[in-house]
Structure 1
Amino acid sequence: MSYEHPQSPPPSSADQVRTLGMLAHLGGILAYFYAGWVAALVIWLVNREKRNVAAEEARVALNFQLTVLIALIVCAIVRSIPVIGFVGWLGFIAVSLISLVLSVLAAVAVQRGGSYRYPFSLELVR
């Protein structure tokens, strides 16, 4: 005698799309490793033709993470200058922390059904 367990309903397409948008923003956690843009790029490339929430949120996250990458590269260059290298380290820490905080805020906003716009971001991907 076997008992059938009731199956939970499959996740809706809207939930899956929202989760992908959230994951695109959470890629910012990897900014410390100069790789925060990878998750957003992959999600954007997969979804850009669909023009859905995931594609738009991934595009926004990708623009922000590319902006962060540029800032981190500038900080790395400044760090290599002996007299002002400390400023580069402070900038690196500040940019990394800002990226972490804003990425988490964006992921929470998207998961709650909204959208998120970063306070500063270059429009590199349209």
Structure 2
Amino acid sequence: MNQKDEKTWAIFISLAGIIGMTIGLISPVGNIIAVLVLWLIKREQSTFLDTEGKEALNFQITMSIAALIVNMILFFIGTLWTLTTFWWMSSSPNFSFRFVSGRNGIVWLINVIFSIIATIKASNGEVYRYPINLRLVK
């Protein structure tokens, strides 16, 4: 595979996580699936794409774990808020749903920022190591 094609596929792999997380309303692991499919297709054609794919896949797994943790924490806080508000003031429990509705915004923003940095590095032919990453796939 020539260097231009490697860079192009590395860009696709880096951006697949953002696209998958945006479409994640259908599947909560859309970001992982998108990167995994591209990495599995191209990993044997280039060591650069294999390395980029592993890094992107590990980062997307990390972002999904972070989103799950944020969801659990905010669900717990929202539930406590609803129960205490309902118990103490007899007000509507609908507030907790509004409170928790923007829960994954920070995870999505982190994903976008680091994926764009990875895309820029990939377009220059450089391997990018995400700073927030559990390296589970080796």
Q: TM-score range by the shorter chain?
A: 0.7 to 0.9
Q: For each residue in 1:69-89, what CA deviation from the matched residue of structure 2 results, as whole angstroms up to 9, or x when unmatched?
A: 111111222232213775x66
Moved over 6 A (4+): none
Of 66, 71, 79, the residue aligned with 1:71 is: 66
Q: Does 1:60 align with 2:55?
A: yes
Name the CA distance, whole Å, in 2 between partners of 1:83 and 1:93.
21
Secondary structure of 2:32's partner?
helix
Name the CA distance, whole Å, in 2 between partners of 1:91 and 1:117.
26
Aligned twin of 1:83: 80
Q: How does 1:84-103 map to 2 (within 5 A)?
A: 92-103=104-115
Name the CA distance, whole Å, in 1 between partners of 2:62 and 2:18.
14
Q: Does 1:120 align with 2:132?
A: yes
The one-letter amino acid of 2:65's match is I
Aligned twin of 2:9: 20
Structure 1: state its 5+ residue gaps: 1-11
Structure 2: state its 5+ residue gaps: 82-95
Secondary structure of 1:36's partner?
helix
Q: Which has the higher contact order (CA 8 A, sep 6+)?
A: 2
Name the CA distance, whole Å, in 2 between partners of 1:17 and 1:67.
25
Q: For each residue in 1:80-116, what CA deviation from the matched residue of structure 2 results, as whole angstroms up to 9, or x when unmatched?
A: 2213775x66762111101011101100111112121
Give the fraction of aligned pairs with identical amino acids, expressed as a percent: 30
